[in-house]
Amino acid sequence: MRYAILLLGAPYSSQAAHSALRFAQAVIARGHRLEAVFFYADGVHNAASLATPPQDEPQIVDGWIDLQRDHDVRLEVCIAAALRRGIIDAAEAARHGKNGHSLAPPFTLTGLGQLIDLGVDCDRLITFGA
């Protein structure tokens, strides 16, 4: 079965991000394919390269990066929601005249059309809210 996740919650404001990451790991462990995680609304904060939680807290951003590296899961971030919240990649920083960028690789900025495609192409689109 092919899954996708829509994540609406920031990593340390609610349980949503932690639950979504654990669900993603469980889906893969059961032999299913996780195509992508789409980060929308406050969920875009999961892609922040500058987040530095205390060492005794879960490193959720690193967990998403590990998931992508180990299982080739696309990490897609809504560009409109990200720009509103200061999450920006190098190309958008240059386009908007900003001095730096804060999108952690391998997260990528994309549009809502990608979310629609995930809903059409995957067997299940699971949402984790704030």
CATH code (residue 107) = 3.40.1260.10
Question: CA angle at residue 81 from 110 to 75, to 5 degrees?
Answer: 40
pLDDT value for 118 = 97
Instruction: Answer whether 0.85 is exceeded by the pTM.
Output: yes
pLDDT in tens, 71-106: 999 999 999 999 999 999 999 999 999 999 999 999
pLDDT in tens, 9-21: 999 899 999 999 9
**Which residues belong to the active site?**
78
Full residue range of the structural domain in which residue 42 is found: 2-128
Q: How many domains is the chain partitioned into structurally? A: 1
Cα 57 to Cα 4, 11, 84, 119, 125: the distances in Å are 26, 11, 27, 32, 28
For residue 16, give both structure tokens.
Answer: 């949503």
pLDDT in tens, 42-59: 999 999 998 888 888 888
Residue 101, CB-side half-sphere exposure with 13 Å CA sphere = 17
